[in-house]
Structure 1
Amino acid sequence: MAHAVWSGALTFGLVSLPVQLFSATESHTIRFRQLERGTSDRIRNKRVNERTGEEVEAEDIVKGLETDGGYVVVEPDELDEIAPGRSKTLEIDGFVDLDDVDPIYFDRTYWLAPKDDEHLKIYALLHGALSRTHRAGIATFVMRNREYLIAVKAEDDVLAAHTLHWADELRDPADEIKTVRSPGDLPDKELKTAVELVETLGMDWKPKEYRDTYRERVLELVEAKGRGETYEKADPPPRATNVVDLMDVLRKSVDDAGDKRRKGGRRKGGRRKGGRRKGRQSRTAREELERLNKKQLYDRAADADITGRSSMNRDELIEALEKAS
């Protein structure tokens, strides 16, 4: 069971609700150990005095901010004394329409839970009001010596607290990316075809259909190397589209997307309407696999739990998928 990362009182108006904050996400990042090449010896980082070269104990390390006159040292209890919201209060200043909050402001997500059953009714009332009005409560609070701006909103049966970036933390793309500028008026025909492609590739948002395939490939790489086997390298990235051929590429993309959508709408398994022979079905399935790139083939092989897929080339993946089906 997850443990609370913060606890305090959420207030709105004159209402005060004791709450706890829980992290809503977890990282599945693969973490490698640092080793000396050619050995199994771990490499460890040490806290070392830059001037003397001697190791320093954690309790002897303090925070310091560099100024014109050197460093100003600040003790942990001094930070606690000046921290806004020292009384552990998460005070909602007001409620905004969710559509008015640009997604670029959102950072991390936490779950807010009532601290006890006694205050469950207040929690449910706030959840119901936010859900019905499609609004979010904007508040600030302090956690781990840092002040956060957050948006409290209703999610299914729970309140979510999304930490937000401060306005001065957002970078202006015009200052950061020199290649972003207007190319002038866009050709109407190309723009209409691009819109058609976007609409043809329209789909429902189903996050559970996506997974970290890079992490899977890393694990398979480790397993293959551990067995002394070779592993298949990924395909090179696609070449940039030539602007001269842009219209042809857009039109072909629309046609291909339409073909895939029509095929995806057919029933899985059994005969097609009209009763074609099994041999024809097999050839059609092969043709469909031939149209996929190596990453798409690998993803299908992962779904089918085909062993040894990390060491297969494209043709071998197609053969294995045919056998599996």
Structure 2
Amino acid sequence: MARPIWTGVLTFGLVSLPVGLYTATEDHTVHFHQLQRGTSDRIRNKRVNERTGKEVATDRIVKGYEVDEGEYVVVEPEELEEIAPGRSKAIDLAGFVDLHEVEPVYFDRTYYVGPRGKEYVKVYELMLAALDRSDKAGIATLTMRGKEYLTALRAQPGVLVLHTLHWADEVRDPADVVPGLPERRSRKDSKELRTAEQLIDALTIDWDPGEYHDTYEERVKKLVAAKQKGEEVVGEPEPPEATNVIDLMEALSRSVEQSRSRGGKGAGRKPAAGEKKSAGRKETEDLASLSKTELQKLASTAGVPGRSRMTRDQLLKALAAQAA
């Protein structure tokens, strides 16, 4: 089993839960070594003095903050340690926010949160169920490896997850960095807009990350294998041309027809007879007692459109309306 990268206490009001953080993702990127062309000689990076060109030992390197061009203030490692955030071992949930209010741009890294001992499982399960039912995220700060993080704790099926978040001053205003954005106003209803919404509805699917994989990594490995055998390397086709504004409506309409003719898994489909029967068995249950995850599964079975974007309350209303 993996070892936690951080251990401490998660506090929820007067409730304290000893927990550990575990890395939730891993990098599968294909890595290359640098070689001198025409040889198998590895290229190594060295730390050199840019003025003398001589290599400098690690213990002779210090940190310098540039206050003016060519003028630095040298800061020693022990000085940084003295002002570093305290060795806090607590994740204090100071407040809770609706998940849909946290824009995706704020999310950074994700960690699984686990109880540190069987005796804490009951408290862990309670917190997991409460967050799942409320569809909210607990906001807290965390000190880890000499750095302070803003974090969001939320429920995922079967486990609590902690997201580190970017601070507000780290997130750029899109209007400052992206040229040509449309004006910030609600677009009036139009035929094109309604057709685009129909296309989104027709292409709506159930979220299953297992259906997706890194095709670029596969292509890199095929490229290496082909070159090793001396075979010809076939490139990828060029992307399609941009849609002309004049042809937009036609392209949207044909896309909707094409999606429907394929009989895809979109939310716009009619639920099968077996699905209706399954949903019918759930009609007598007390929907309010179900977690958001259970409601989403029920909504998926019933073919509720737009369910992936709904809050728990919206799922309750949609399912109740179908049962009526």
Please report the TM-score for the alignment, with normalisation by the length of structure 1.
0.74
8 A Cα contact 2:88 2:143, kept in partner: no
User: CA separation in 1, counterparts of 2:61 and 2:73?
Assistant: 13
1:272 corresponding residue in structure 2: none
Q: Do the aligned partners of 2:24 and 2:111 also contact (CA within 8 Å) in 1?
A: yes
| Counterpart AA for 2:123 | I
Could you say which residue in structure 2 is the equivalent of 1:167?
168
Query: Residue 215 of structure 1 corresponds to which residue in structure 2?
Result: 217
- Contact 1:224–1:230 (Cα < 8 Å) also in 2: yes
Q: Comparing 133-142 with 214-223, which one deviates more in the overlay?
A: 133-142
Q: Give distance in 2, aligned partners of 1:263 and 1:119.
A: 41
Matched, 1:154 2:155: yes
The reply to whether residue 56 of structure 1 matches residue 71 of structure 2 is no
Alpha carbons of structure 1 residues 63 and 113: separation in structure 2 relative to 1, 3 Å: farther
* Corresponding residue of 1:19: 19
Contact 1:85 / 1:141 at 8 angstroms: preserved in 2?
Answer: no
Q: CA distance change for structure 1 residues 77 and 91 in 2, over 3 Å: closer, same or farther?
A: farther
CA distance in 2, matches of 1:170, 1:102: 11
SS, match of residue 26 in structure 1 = coil
Unaligned runs of 5+ in 1: 266-325
Aligned to 2:259: 257
Alpha-carbon distance between aligned partners in 2 of 1:60 and 1:22, rounded to the nearest angstrom? 35
Query: C-alpha separation between the residues in 2 aligned to 1:255 and 1:53?
Result: 66
| Alignment correspondent of 2:243 | 241
> CA 1:183/1:167 → structure 2, altered by over 3 Å: closer, same or farther?
closer
Q: Could you say if the C-alpha distance between residues 187 and 22 of structure 1 is closer, same or farther in structure 2, counting changes exceeding 3 Å?
A: closer
Shift of 1:187: 7.5
The SS at the match of 1:46 is coil
* Paired residue type of 1:22: Y
Pairing of 1:69-108 with structure 2 (within 5 A): 70-108=71-109
Q: Specify the alignment match of 1:284 in structure 2.
A: none
Distance 2:130 2:233 in 1: 55
Partner of 1:197: 199
Mapped to 2, the partners of 1:26 and 1:217 lie a distance apart of 20
Q: TM-score, normalised by structure 2?
A: 0.74
Distance in 1 of aligned mates of 2:114 and 2:107: 20
Q: Which amino acid aligns with 1:217?
A: R
Q: Is the 8 A contact 1:84 1:141 kept in 2?
A: no
Alpha carbons 1:8, 1:88 under 8 Å: kept:
yes
Q: Distance in 1 between matches of 2:133 and 2:196?
A: 37
Q: Distance in 2 between matches of 1:183 and 1:8?
A: 44
Q: Is the 8 A contact 1:149 1:166 kept in 2?
A: yes
Q: Which residue of 2 aligns with 1:307?
A: none
- Aligned partners of 2:64 and 2:257: how far apart in 1? 61
Structure 1 pair 219–94 and aligned structure 2 pair: CA distance change class (3 A): same
Tell me by how many angstroms 1:226 deviates.
Answer: 0.4
> Which amino acid is the alignment partner of residue 232 of structure 1?
V
User: Looking at CA atoms only, which structure, 1 or 2, has the larger radius of gyration?
Assistant: 1
Amino acid at match of 1:218: V
- 1:229 maps to 231
Alpha-carbon distance in structure 2 between the residues aligned to 1:161 and 1:183? 32
The structure with higher relative contact order (CA 8 Å, sep 6+) is: 2
CA separation of 1:193 and 1:121: change in aligned 2, threshold 3 A: closer
Structure 2 unmatched runs, 5+: 270-324
Q: What is the alpha-carbon distance in structure 1 between the residues aligned to residue 82 and residue 210 of structure 2? A: 45
> Residue 244 of structure 1 aligns to a residue in which SS?
helix
Change (3 A) 1:263 1:157: closer
Distance 1:96 1:36 in 2: 54
Conservation of the 8 A alpha-carbon contact between 2:85 and 2:146: no
Separation in 2, partners of 1:183, 1:238: 29
Say whether the 8 Å CA contact 2:139–2:150 is kept in structure 1.
Answer: yes
Question: What is the identity percentage for the equivalent residue pairs of Structure 1 and Structure 2?
Answer: 57
| SS of the residue 1:251 aligns to | helix
Q: Deviations over 1:78-110 (max 9, x none)?
A: 333322342333222222222322222111110
